[in-house]
Structure 1
Amino acid sequence: MARPLPVFVLLGLGLAGCNTAPVGFGGIDPVVVEVDGSTFEVRRKGDAASSVRTNVEFARPATILSKAAQAIGQATGCDVVPGSLTGDQAIQRARLSC
C-alpha cells in the first residue's frame, strides 16, 4: 500500500507553479512592480506583455486589471493599447504601444 505524501510536500508542489512565466513568456526575467498594494511580475516580449499578480488579496477583476495596466506601463515604459488588456485576478496580457 502506497504511503500518502506529507502535507508540506503537497503544498510545496502546489505553490511551485505560482512563480512560473505564462505561456509564451518563458525565459524572460520579470520586472517586479507594486501598484497600490498589489505586486506584479511583468514580462515583455516584443509588443506584448504579461503580468502575474504575486500577492494575496481579495479584489475585483476590474480593480486588478486597472492596476495591471499601470504595472505593465511602469515596467515597460510603453502604453497599453486600449481594449487589449485581458485576464483575471492572477494573469493579465496586453498589447503595447511604444
Structure 2
Amino acid sequence: MALARYAVAKVEVYTTTYCPFCTRAKSLLKSKNIAFDEIDVTEDDALRAKMIELSGGRRSVPEIFINGKIIGGFDELKALNDAGKLDGLLAESAPA
C-alpha cells in the first residue's frame, strides 16, 4: 500500500502481475502519495468475477475504484489527473 496523503478516499486497484498499465496506474498513485488497496486477480477467478461485476462488465485491468465508484483504467486515471480532477475525487470522504 502506498503512503497516505488522501486518507479520506478509499482507492482500490484491480491488477494482474503481467499488466504494464497496472504498473503505470500504481506508479501514478504512488507518485501522488495516494494510499490504495491492490487486488491481484491474476490467478483468482472469483476476484476477477467480482471485478467484472463491480465495473459493469469491464474485463480489462487495471480497474480503478475511488470510494466504490468505477474510474476506469490507467488512461482514465491519467486523464483525470491531467485535467486536475483527480485530487477532488480523492478529497471526498469514503461512504461509511
TM-score interval w.r.t. the shorter chain? under 0.3
Query: TM-score, normalization: structure 2?
Result: 0.27
| Bigger fraction of residues in strand | 1
- Structure with the greater alpha carbon radius of gyration: 1
Query: TM-score, normalization: structure 1?
Result: 0.26
Q: Which has the higher contact order (CA 8 A, sep 6+)?
A: 2
